[in-house]
Amino acid sequence: MFEGGDRQMNNQTSYQKVSAVGRLFVLLVAVVIWGMTCWASPVTAATNSDKPHFNPKKVHLGITPTGWSNGDDPTIDLDPPIPYQQILSEMALSGFQGSQTSGKYPQDIEVLKSELKLRNLKISEPWVGTEFTVAGKRDDTIKEFKKQMKFMKEMGGTKIVVAELGSAVHQKPVDPLLNRPKFTDQQWQNLTDGLNRLGSMAKDEGMQLCYHPHVGTGVETLDDIDRLMKNTDPRYVKLLLDTGHLYYAGVDPLEVTKKYAQRIKHVHLKNIRQSILDDSIQSGRSFLDSIREGVFTVPGDSEGAIDFQPIFQELAKANYQGWLVVEAEQDPNKVNPLQYAMIAHKYLHEVTGL
């Protein structure tokens, strides 16, 4: 009896030793594989010591509707067009917290609020095209800005995005880089004076005006941005960092981030497919045709040329608070909007922890 018991005990002990060795072996293999994965994947490796530190209560991830439908050219859509309910639902499904406004969304504020609440989404910003450089358009610009401030107050938001569209060519069938407007000194003065006024109005309402340098407009290059920043009041006029528009125009988005980190109060995250951009520049392709060809893509797409990690690091060092909004204008006939929204959110979560 005791001999059998001893044998059973010895067998159990042997089994436990073997199991322990096996578990240790499996653990070692897992560690090796994990290490190889981290070494092979810059994004995963960066999520450790190099991860930027944002306050998740004060930094939010949003996405614009431009991956589903284009506001500048409604023909960049499916046939029949993608309904707004699907756009909002897929934004929420992919994990985002908010969206820019869209002409597709309900214009009745109560209906819009209801649709957003259903999906736990917020409006990150409206978009105002100013025309201070066009004679006789100043009052219309101020009127539209007041309208959008009222809208954002209703929606509980604080950011208002503006871009000067006087003589802009981004919607025209021409090369946007070669044909963009060049403002006279008087037009520059009218623009900066007008922006200071709008920014002061926004500040009085507890909001922030964020200027958006944009391909095909009079504020596109680094020299343009420097002039705008120098001649506007930093209390009133903040800067929107749009990585894709800067890169398209030959401007390093990291350089702009470093230079104006304290004035950047809103961010649009666009990635660039380098080969398509090169071809667009060489052939003189229009901005909208470049979108159709797929010049823009989302952060996290392996085809993208922009390294977002150091940009996030600079923003985090400056204690950035506000929205990080994915804005990758794409043709839904060529790429699946939900798929790319999920790619973007996964990447941003891995890199920022948000």
Write the pLDDT tens digit of every residue in 83-121: 999 999 999 999 999 999 999 999 999 999 999 999 999
CA 125 – CA 112 distance, rounded (Å): 14
Residues 167 and 26 both lie in one domain? no
Residues 129 and 239 both lie in one domain? yes
- Tell me whether residue 337 is in a domain: yes
Q: What's 114's domain CATH number?
A: 3.20.20.150
- Tell me whether residue 122 is in a domain: yes
pLDDT at 17 (0 to 100): 35
Angle at 319 (CA atoms; ends 313, 321), nearest 5 degrees = 105
pLDDT at 26 (0 to 100): 29
295: tokens are 């010049």
pLDDT at 164 (0 to 100): 98
Q: Enumerate residue ranges in the chain where pLDDT < 70.
A: 1-49
**DSSP notation for 97-124:** -EEE--TTS-SSHHHHHHHHHHTT-EEE
- Tell me whether residue 136 is in a domain: yes
Residues 34 and 161 both lie in one domain? no
- Tell me whether residue 49 is in a domain: no
214: domain range? 54-352
Residues 298 and 348 both lie in one domain? yes
- Tell me whether residue 47 is in a domain: no
Cis amide bond preceding 80, omega within 30? yes
Angle at 174 (CA atoms; ends 170, 179), nearest 5 degrees = 75
Residues 24 and 60 both lie in one domain? no
pLDDT at 241 (0 to 100): 98
Query: Whole-prediction pTM value?
Result: 0.86
Residues 324 and 300: beta-carbon distance below 8 Å: no
- Tell me whether residue 25 is in a domain: yes
- Tell me whether residue 143 is in a domain: yes
Residues 88 and 151 both lie in one domain? yes
Residues 202 and 270 both lie in one domain? yes
Residues 150 and 36 both lie in one domain? no
Number of domains in the chain: 2
- Tell me whether residue 48 is in a domain: no
pLDDT at 162 (0 to 100): 98
pLDDT at 51 (0 to 100): 82
Residues 115 and 4 both lie in one domain? no
Residues 106 and 154 both lie in one domain? yes
Residues 36 and 126 both lie in one domain? no
Residues 13 and 76 both lie in one domain? no
- The predicted-structure confidence for 178-225, as pLDDT tens digits, reads as follows 999 999 999 999 999 999 999 999 999 999 999 999 999 999 999 999
